[in-house]
Amino acid sequence: MSSYVFPIQYAFLVFGLGCYVLFIPWLIYTYRKDGFFSWWRLILSSSFLFYLLCALFLVLLPLPDTRDTCSMQTENTVYYSLVPFTFVGDILKETSIVWSQPSSYIQLVKERAFLQATFNFLLLLPFGVYLRYFFQKREYWKRALGLGFALSLFFEITQLSGIYGIYNCPYRLFDVDDLILNSSGALFGFLVAPIVLALFPSTKSIEAKRASVMESDIVLPVPQLLALMIDGIVVQFISGLFGFLLPFGWLTEVISTSLGMVLTFYFIPLFWNGKTIGTAIMRFRLVNEVSGSPSATSLFKRFLALYFTWFVMYTSNVIGQTERWMESAFYPLLIFFTFGVIVVISLVFLIHGLIVVFSRGRRRFYFDHASGIRPSRKNLHF
């Protein structure tokens, strides 16, 4: 049993690291594609990736202790078995059951050959279930069988090649029976999938909700925050370019960041139909809530609201780190004041952001409210 638990534990670790790295890109993708976040789609997609990792690690792990696997094997070691249905003969040869006594059939679940064949059958059965969800129609069973065979062949070739040259000899057997059992399991999973998928929303219901969101011109708060995050990265990139041209110092940082912000939050959307880099990636634009079109005045007010926020935070931080104040008797009070300003502003923004996010579009962020801006998915031209 430990030979199965270890690969799954390792897959869980890799999956956790992957989620940490890919969660934000996944959010950007799903909001850009659908306009809303679906927990069911996240569960299905992430569970599919986790399953593939488990299947791969169950096939490959544990790894040999040395890359020189040839030295661990005899000279006449056979690396492949090309006789189909050998597993049937192995089961019949090793079994201790008496076929005339049905009560002895329970012994099968304790025998190596039967358990190994069962494992190979079950390995790609979930793969077939996922394929049924993606393809929807039963008529695609041939695709499911072909993809199951292709995935099984990939596993077998990976083993036969010593993980593509990492090990100088294969450390596991290439077995045609594995191809047969894996492919059969994938096909069986595809055929019985409706029993499982009845518990989950169909892709049609998700597409219907997506069409409704697009038609109603709703841009939820989370994609707005993602667009703002992307624009913040753009500001850092632009300010970094300007920083190379100016002498190092706090004034250089202020000037370069100011230039980056005015370009990103004002001039780019002004001349690009209300779109910043971030909003364009998230597939919406900024328009005046009254006129329904990009407004220079509204865009400038939005820029000022964002710039003022950054400037207050940056100034408080710089004042607290200025060396000339360190010998002053008021330095502890100054540190307390600047730290308090940063903490209070951060808490206010955090609470404000949570309120807006959980309002699900009924409230707007302060920089949009103050400038009379609203996000819109209509009249996008890329």
Mean pLDDT per block of 10 residues along the chain (382 residues) reads 74 87 86 78 86 90 84 80 84 74 71 86 93 85 93 92 86 89 94 81 71 74 92 91 72 86 94 92 88 87 92 74 54 63 80 84 86 83 54
Q: Dihedral of CA 114/117/123/129: which sign?
A: negative
State the pLDDT at residue 336. 63
Report how far residue 184's alpha carbon sits from residue 196's, in angstroms, rounded to the nearest whole number: 18
State the pLDDT at residue 86. 86
State the pLDDT at residue 178. 92
Q: Are 159 and 266 in a shared domain?
A: no
Contacts of 364 (CB under 8 A, 6+ apart): 356, 374
DSSP string, 149-188: HHHHHHHHHHHHTHHHHTSSS-SS-EEHHHHHHHHHHHHH
State the pLDDT at residue 97. 72
Q: Which two tokens stand for residue 372?
A: 């009379």
Sort strands 80-81 and 285-288 into parallel, antiparallel or unpaired: unpaired
Question: For residue 115, is it within any domain?
Answer: yes
Peptide bond into 62 cis (omega under 30): yes
Q: How many domains does the chain have?
A: 3
Check residue 40 and give left, alpha or beta (phi > 0: left; psi -120 to 50: alpha): alpha
Question: For residue 68, is it within any domain?
Answer: no
State the pLDDT at residue 332. 61
Long-range contacts made by residues 179-182, C-beta under 8 angstroms, separation at least 24? 179/149, 179/152, 179/153, 180/84, 180/85, 181/87, 181/117, 181/120, 181/121, 181/123, 182/120, 182/121, 182/123, 182/124, 182/148, 182/149, 182/151, 182/152, 182/155
Question: For residue 260, is it within any domain?
Answer: yes
Q: Are 161 and 225 in a shared domain?
A: no
Q: Please give the residue range of the domain that contains residue 354.
A: 217-376
Q: Are 193 and 247 in a shared domain?
A: no
Domain's final residue, options 172, 192, 213:
213
Question: For residue 328, is it within any domain?
Answer: yes
Question: For residue 70, is it within any domain?
Answer: no
Q: Are 363 and 227 in a shared domain?
A: yes
Q: Is 94 exposed, middle or buried (0-12, 13-18, 19+ CB in 10 A)?
A: exposed
Q: Are 132 and 281 in a shared domain?
A: no
Question: For residue 382, is it within any domain?
Answer: no
Contact predicate 135/144, CB 8 Å: yes
Q: Which two tokens stand for residue 145?
A: 């069988």
Quote the longest CA-to-CA distance of the chain.
97
Report how far residue 325's alpha carbon sits from residue 318's, in angstroms, rounded to the nearest whole number: 11
Q: Dihedral of CA 49/53/55/56: which sign?
A: positive
Q: Are 361 and 238 in a shared domain?
A: yes
> Which residue in this structure is represented by tokens 């931080």?
317
Contacts of 34 (CB under 8 A, 6+ apart): 41, 206, 209, 210, 213
Question: For residue 340, is it within any domain?
Answer: yes
Q: Are 196 and 264 in a shared domain?
A: no
Global confidence as pTM: 0.75
Sort strands 285-288 and 373-376 into parallel, antiparallel or unpaired: antiparallel
Domain's final residue, options 185, 213, 241:
213
Q: Are 236 and 331 in a shared domain?
A: yes
Report how far residue 233's alpha carbon sits from residue 239's, in angstroms, rounded to the nearest whole number: 10
State the pLDDT at residue 380. 65
State the pLDDT at residue 124. 94
Q: Which two tokens stand for residue 44?
A: 């299905």
Domain's final residue, options 192, 213, 234:
213
Question: For residue 67, is it within any domain?
Answer: no
Q: Are 344 and 248 in a shared domain?
A: yes
State the pLDDT at residue 114. 84
DSSP string, 1-42: -HHHHHHHHHHHHHHHHHHHHHHHHHHHHHHHHHSS--HHHH
Q: Are 11 and 155 in a shared domain?
A: no
Q: Are 369 and 307 in a shared domain?
A: yes
Report how far residue 254's alpha carbon sits from residue 317's, in angstroms, rounded to the nearest whole number: 12
Q: Are 176 and 255 in a shared domain?
A: no
Q: Shortest CA distance to 252 belongs to which of 263, 262, 243, 240?
A: 243
